[in-house]
Amino acid sequence: MNDLRIESHHDLPPKLAISERNDVAPEVSPVLDALEQFAQFVDELFDTPRSHPTAWEGNPNRIAVRSVGRVLCKWRHAVKPNRPPSALIVRLAKRLPSVLSDVVQHPKKILQRRRSMEPINRLRELDSSCVRWLARQPGNTLAEKSGHRRAVLAVQRFESVDTLENRVVLDLLKRCSALASNYLRQHQEAYPNHERFIMTADFLKVCRRLETLPHLHEVSSLPSLPKPNYVLLHETRYNQVWRSYMKVIRQQRRRQQLWTWRHQAFADMVIVAWMYTASRVSTDRESRKAAHRFDLRIRETPQRGTFFDWTSLPPIWKVTPESSFYIGPSDSLRHLPIPDVLIPSVEKFAKNFGFAAEAKNLEEFRYDPGISVVRWNKQEGRANALQVLFGDDYETIGTVPDLSAGQATIRLLDVSGSNESDQTLWQRAVPLTLIEAPDAFDQVHSDWWR
């Protein structure tokens, strides 16, 4: 194995790597819908138990360790043609309606105090402020000090539902309404009569009805994520609300992260889809089994757009007895068992890839997720840097895309030349919903391999 020094954009200053951090996620976006579908795929990988008791799989430190074979099998069956996905809002719609109805109709109340003008015949309590006010009034007796209105400043006690726990309930109702509306929008054409769709629609009606109840009008909004109080942590009903609320918050934050780093997140889908194709076209059964035993480390929450923790590298695929294929992070090329005859060209690729990443302006830089696609045999090899572009990206770079609304562009850029003019560009349009077409990269792989 050859130790090659690879310069990649992961080593660039942070200001370049976060060029999209001020991008606000839109309410409706086919790109974001596709990325959330992939995020749901990751959630199911986390939630699925081990395939058998002796399998080395687990979730240490919020990292799911799953074999490549299991990930690819899950990818193949990720979308069922006869049912919508079991998203978070579907699970909430199954268990929350009765809890929310009970909490809203019988909310936790607190006894509060306020000062107001009270008739002297209803006077019950005074505090120091009321006594000072009374001392400043003219007259000697209470009746004289009350004046013609026969009222004095006194303490009034009343019940209020404007508590922290009820503010969380109200905020959860609003957020669940938004999630349910988005879910129904995505699946109303394909699954209008499915149980999950109907259950989510009913849950949306419940949330909207509870929001309009009169006693919730006095509950104020949450200015930020609160620190839970005793009621939220230990009262049975409110604890269910709090745990559900935190799940919704995490999903909505992840939605923003996916949009901000959408090119990197889509590259994760490309990696899984292309590995699935490589597994299908591989002719060496034993090497395919070995590749399926590789571990992938998958994060529950993406970091800079990627769900994969590349401390555990993806496998090398023996597509033919003589040819090998690899797709993965560009800074891992030094670990590939490249034949000696290819070392100069791969070193040149690595050097120019680093220069290309540093030379990109702020707008172009975000299209490059730092993924390389490589093939080689004993005589020759080919290495490409992967780029991802969506329809709105073409407005930035000033070209007209040949894309439909449900497609993205995959570019494979050869940076082994000495300057930009030597780069050869190969690109194909692929569906945004790769997870719904697991074999979408069969033709892409065939075209690129020629």
Pair 353, 415 in one domain = yes
Pair 237, 150 in one domain = no
| Assigned domain for 73 exists | no
Alpha helices by DSSP H, listed for 319-439, are: 343-359, 362-365, 393-397
Give the mean pLDDT of 51-61.
Answer: 67
| Assigned domain for 220 exists | yes
Please give the tally of structural domains in the chain.
3
| Assigned domain for 423 exists | yes
Give the mean pLDDT of 232-252.
Answer: 93
| Assigned domain for 33 exists | no
**Percent with pLDDT over 70 in the chain:** 81
Is the predicted pLDDT of residue 335 greater than 80, yes or no?
no
Q: Comparing 194 with 405, which gets the higher pLDDT?
A: 194
Is the predicted pLDDT of residue 30 greater than 60, yes or no?
yes
Distances (CA, A) of 284 to 278, 288, 289, 291, 324: 11, 6, 9, 11, 11
**Structural domain ending residue among the three candidates 239, 259, 279:** 259
pLDDT single digits (tens) 259-281: 989 999 999 999 999 999 999 98
Nearest to 328 by CA among 386, 413, 378: 386
**Structural domain ending residue among the three candidates 241, 259, 277:** 259
Give the mean pLDDT of 138-150.
Answer: 79
State which H helix or E strand residue 400 sits in.
Answer: none
| Assigned domain for 43 exists | no
Pair 174, 57 in one domain = no
What six digits make up the tokens of 28? 């409706």
Of the given ranges (9-18, 154-163, 195-204, 281-290), which has the lowest mean pLDDT?
9-18
**Structural domain ending residue among the three candidates 227, 259, 291:** 259
Pair 252, 393 in one domain = no
Distances (CA, A) of 334 to 3, 327, 348, 369: 5, 13, 12, 18
Q: What is the pLDDT of residue 45?
A: 84
Read off the pLDDT band of 364 (50, 70, 90).
very low
Of the given ranges (58-62, 219-223, 246-250), which has the lowest mean pLDDT?
58-62
What six digits make up the tokens of 394? 């073409």
Residues in contact with 73: Cβ distance below 8 Å, sequence separation at least 6, in sequence order = none
Pair 267, 255 in one domain = no
| Assigned domain for 35 exists | no
Q: What is the pLDDT of residue 4?
A: 32
Read off the pLDDT band of 181 (50, 70, 90).
very high
Pair 251, 268 in one domain = no
Rounded to an integer, what distance in angstroms lies between the CA atom of residue 271 and that of residue 275?
6
Pair 350, 243 in one domain = no
Q: What is the pLDDT of residue 148?
A: 76
Pair 392, 416 in one domain = yes
Pair 167, 200 in one domain = yes
Q: What is the pLDDT of residue 218?
A: 86
Give the mean pLDDT of 234-261.
Answer: 92
Cα 296 to its chain centre, rounded Å, is 19
Of the given ranges (105-114, 182-191, 291-300, 348-357), which has the lowest mean pLDDT?
348-357
Are 424 and 404 spatial neighbours (Cβ–Cβ below 8 Å)? no
Pair 369, 250 in one domain = no
pLDDT single digits (tens) 404-449: 778 888 888 876 554 444 455 678 889 988 888 888 888 888 888 8
Give percent helix, percent strand, percent coil of the chain, each to the nearest 5: 50, 15, 35
Q: What is the pLDDT of residue 242?
A: 95
| Assigned domain for 337 exists | yes
Q: Which residue has the tokens 């004993």?
A: 378
Pair 245, 148 in one domain = no
| Assigned domain for 379 exists | yes
For the entire predicted model, the pTM comes to 0.76
Q: Comparing 442 with 28, which gets the higher pLDDT?
A: 442
Structural domain range at position 230: 88-107+163-259
State which H helix or E strand residue 417 sits in.
Answer: none
What six digits make up the tokens of 396? 């930035």
Is the predicted pLDDT of residue 356 greater than 50, yes or no?
no
Q: What is the pLDDT of residue 14?
A: 33
Is the predicted pLDDT of residue 308 greater than 80, yes or no?
yes
Pair 225, 335 in one domain = no
Average pLDDT, the chain: 80
Q: What is the pLDDT of residue 395?
A: 67
Taking the alpha carbons at both ends of the chain, their separation in whole angstroms is 27
